[in-house]
Structure 1
């Protein structure tokens, strides 16, 4: 299993950062490079506890569909989404928020495991970990930019 921990400092109030991170619409905007779309479940607005969304996107020239559910949420401090169906063996993404002097520290703890045993572990290590980290970095740049406009 791979773990990516990413911290982003945002010069904006915690409430706005929390809501932007839950925004289906902003997620779609931030993932334009993979043509990601919400196609089932919660397809727009802010996702909440126990709600599900199904995404369709193109990565590595292939179309993927993935469903995830919000399995934990504490208003303005954290939420967790977990893959319920999709291309990974496991995917668990914790979003943590805390107030700091300059605004908000947003931390992603992103854990995932590729399928296909030892071959999957090799692909995970050589390709997927850096690819997934880059997607998170790009997404967080969009969240930061939008939050700092508010």
Structure 2
């Protein structure tokens, strides 16, 4: 199993960052070049994902169209939420999102992302040689978009009409 941890400091209020991290549209914006989208196979396809809700994601990774179903399996708004893969290409995947207000009023967003590849020893080799860096890049790009949206007026586009 691989454990990644990323910390992003965002010059915006805690609640805004928490909600943007749960926005389907912001997630898609942060993963656009993989063609990621929420599809209507099951669950939520837009807005803010809440506790117990699922999203079916489709994207192209390594030249292959993949489908992943994730569910929000824990939430302590606005400090924490967890999404867990219900079905997908990984043996397992869990993403913990932690938020806290810093002394200067900025928000620290800390991601703990754990995953395991299938296929035993072959999967472990793939984790070390390829997947660790690939998933780190994906996570950093997504977080950069959350930060950019939260620190600009663009956040209003995603949150004022969100439910």
Give 1:22 deviation, angstroms.
Answer: 0.1
Q: Distance in 2 between matches of 1:73 and 1:138?
A: 23
Note if 1:38 corresponds to 2:38: yes
**1:64-79 → structure 2 map (5 Å cutoff):** 64-79=66-81
TM-score, normalised with respect to structure 1: 0.98
Query: How far apart, in 2, do the equivalents of 1:144 and 1:107 lie?
Result: 12
Number of the residue aligned with 1:110:
113
CA deviation after TM superposition for structure 1 residue 101, in Å: 2.1
Alignment of 1:73-92 (within 5 A): 73-92=75-94
- Corresponding residue SS for 2:78: coil
1:90-101 to structure 2, matched below 5 A, reads: 90-101=92-103
User: What is the match of residue 122 of structure 2?
Assistant: 119
Moved over 6 A (4+): none
Q: Which residue of 1 aligns with 2:63?
A: 61
The residue matched to 1:8 in structure 2 has which SS? strand
Aligned pair count? Answer: 150
Normalising by structure 2, we get a TM-score of 0.91
Corresponding residue SS for 1:47:
coil
Corresponding residue number in structure 1 for 2:161: none
